[in-house]
Amino acid sequence: METVMNTGDWLLALPILIPVIGGLLVAFVKALDDMRLRRVAVTVTLAATVAAVLAVILRGDSSLTLFNLTPTIPVLLKIDNIGRLYSGFISLVFLCVGIYSFEYMRHEKNEKRFYAFYLFTLAALMGLSLCGTIVTLYMFYEAMTLLSLPLVTHTQTKEAVAAGIKYLIYSVIGASLALAGIFFLNRYADTLTFTAGGVLNAEKVAGHEGLLLTVLFLMVLGFSVKAGMFPLHGWLPTAHPVAPAPASAVLSGVITKAGVLGIIRTVYYLAGPDFLRGTWVQQAWLILAIITVFLGSMLAFKEGVFKKRLAYSTVSQVSYVLFGLFTLTEWGMMGALLHIVFHSIIKNTLFMTAGAVIYKTGKTKVSELTGIGKQMPVAMWCYTIVSMGLIGIPPTCGFISKWYLAQGGLSMAYGWNWVGPAVLLISAILTAGYLFSIVIRGFFPGNTVQPADLPKAEPTAVMLVPMLLLAALCLLFGMFPGALTGFVSSIASAVL
């Protein structure tokens, strides 16, 4: 049913404008060079963004045309349920990580630059969440890549700059594949505005299915660069660990999801699942996602550097989401949407813990973490809870999303539909292996270690409260997922 939409709703621009203005103030106003004032400014900006997002979420469906590139290609913002989900969790996570970073960034230089680009990145992400056409999405997507680059290269070491370049090259390759796809889509679609169920014009498509499928395959492959899917995941384990912990957290937890958003929009809102179901393209995507799930876990299991281990874990976990999306089933889509939120919560907490360990003890290798649980019990308890979430042990949130993902896998009409769930579980076993080994060493250092060798190193409340909040969310969503599952169910049933 078509509803008449308000097309000039400037409220939609607020979540983008607020962080941009905040970022500009932080970057150019001399008065904000004072550390305390800057923190106040950043906090206010982040909180105001959350408030604006809340207002947008509660607003009915509406849109805002910013300008027209050509008479047929508008750049427009639109709020739908995917947008509500994305803008909601992203602004919340950015607020938490932002507050956490006040303490962490003390031992880094160039705080001003960091916060300016942190806020700009948030603005780009808000734009991505709220965009209404694929062209708008592409613009914000490129903006996000460029604005988040200074976060990767923040430390300015040789290693970080090299990682930044790698990040840039991969992203550019990915984005150009996506852009090429947009050109083709424009030819075969009625409109480039996202519409549940797809916009392809059957008459125009007739006879060109093979071409269009190939184009869609490449387009999704392009977006999958950000999501870290094999074979274009190489930048992720390089770029995430070199950034400062708060940046790694949002890179891993949030920015990877921007790639996922591109894929959701392409598959479900442009091409339409019915066009893709049962094709070689779907099978190829599924196989790539399944390979990535296993690959990431296995390499994380073998990785000795704490943050790099978490980065590999992201490779694996984001492909859980992609697997769910590629099943093209309602269950799979619901599982994917849930896992987007849950993985974001969990991975941010994990990186914050890793950051706290580095900040307080300077230890970066897993083998050095013996007794860390005795040194920072609260932080490591957060780590333990979210680890259970990532493995998918009830009653934490990861269990819920895994349940839906596996049901999605099993509802596919392929004879090999059990492979996906089986690999998810093998990966869960590996996840337990690479996350719990730290918990075990941390809390059970062995009877030869004296308590005196393990001085207390608990971080301050500024660091702990965001971690505790997200860890609590991980448990609460696991125990009471009803509201969220109902919400994602409404998204999934609209497109499938």
Partner 1 sequence: MHILLPALVFLPMLGALISYLIGRKSKPGRNAFVCVLLTAECLLAVLGIYQAILGRELTFTWEGFAGLGLHFRLDGFRALYTLVAAFMWMMTGFFSPQYFAHYHNRNRYYFFTLMTLGATAGVFLSDDLYTTFIFFEIMSFTSYTWVAHEETPGAMRAAETYLGIAVVGGMVTLMGLFMLWHKLGSLAFADLQKAGETLDAKELYLPGALVMFGFAAKAGMFPLHIWLPKAHPVAPAPASALLSGVLTKAGIFGVLVTSCNLFLHNGAWGNVVLALGVATMFGGALLAMFSVDLKRTLACSSMSQIGFILVGVGMQCLLGHHNALAVQGTLLHMVNHSLIKLCLFMAAGAVYMNLHKLDLNDIRGFGRNKIVLHIAFLMGALGISGVPLWNGYISKSLLHESILEYVELLHEQGLSAAWYSATEWIFVITGGMTFSYMLKLYFALFWEKNAARQEEFDGMRKGYLRPLSIFALLGAALILPALGMLPSILMTGIAELGQGFMHGESPAHAVAYFSEENLIGAAKSLVIGAALYLGVIRPFLMEKREGARVYVNRWPAWLDLENIFIRSDFTQKYVCGCITAVSRFLDNLATSKFFYVIVPAIITAVTRCLDELMDSVAVLLSGTVLSKKKTPHLPPVGTRVTYYLGCALNAVARFLNRTVLRRHPLHTDFEYRLDVDKHEAGQTLGMLTRSVSFGLLLMSVGLFITCWYLLK
**Interface ranges with partner 1 (CB under 8 A):** 230-234, 237, 291, 294-295, 298-299, 302, 388, 391-395, 399-400, 403, 406-407, 410-411, 418, 421-422, 425-426, 428-429, 432-433, 436, 440, 444-447, 478-482, 485
CB of 61 to partner 1, least distance (A): 28
Tell me if 26 sits within 8 A of 115, measured CB to CB. yes
Residue 200: phi and psi, rounded to 5, are -65, 140
Residue number, 394 or 455, with CB nearest to partner 1: 394
According to DSSP, the residues that pair with 63 across neighbouring strands are 78
Residue number, 362 or 451, with CB nearest to partner 1: 451
CB count within 10 Å of CB 183 equals 9
CB of 32 to partner 1, least distance (A): 40
CB of 218 to partner 1, least distance (A): 15
- Which residues make Cβ contacts (< 8 Å) with residue 379, sequence separation at least 6? 353, 356, 357, 458, 459, 463, 464, 467
* One-character DSSP codes across 315-329: HHHHHHHHHHHHTTS
How far apart CA 348 and CA 464 sit, in angstroms, is: 13
Tell me if 177 sits within 8 A of 218, measured CB to CB. yes
Residue number, 197 or 433, with CB nearest to partner 1: 433
Q: Output 209-217 pairs: Cβ under 8 A, ≥24 positions apart.
A: 211/184, 212/184, 212/188, 212/271, 212/275, 213/276, 213/279, 213/280, 213/281, 214/281, 215/180, 215/181, 215/184, 215/185, 216/181, 216/266, 216/267, 216/271, 216/276, 216/281, 217/281, 217/284, 217/285
> Considering only CA atoms, which of 136, 144, 163 is closest in space to residue 152?
163
How far apart CA 189 and CA 119 sit, in angstroms, is: 35
Tell me if 442 sits within 8 A of 370, measured CB to CB. yes
CB of 373 to partner 1, least distance (A): 10
CB count within 10 Å of CB 216 equals 24
The first and second tokens of residue 44, run together, are 């206010």
Residue number, 136 or 485, with CB nearest to partner 1: 485
CB of 427 to partner 1, least distance (A): 10
Residue number, 64 or 289, with CB nearest to partner 1: 289
Task: Give me the amino acid identity at 149.
Answer: L
Task: Give me the amino acid identity at 229.
Answer: M
How far apart CA 213 and CA 219 sit, in angstroms, is: 10
CB of 182 to partner 1, least distance (A): 23
Residue number, 8 or 231, with CB nearest to partner 1: 231
CB count within 10 Å of CB 22 equals 26
Residue number, 69 or 476, with CB nearest to partner 1: 476
CB of 15 to partner 1, least distance (A): 31
CB of 406 to partner 1, least distance (A): 4
CB of 397 to partner 1, least distance (A): 9
- Which residues make Cβ contacts (< 8 Å) with residue 60, sequence separation at least 6? none
* Burial of residue 414 (number of CB atoms within 10 Å: 0-12, 13-18, 19+): middle
Residue number, 101 or 375, with CB nearest to partner 1: 375
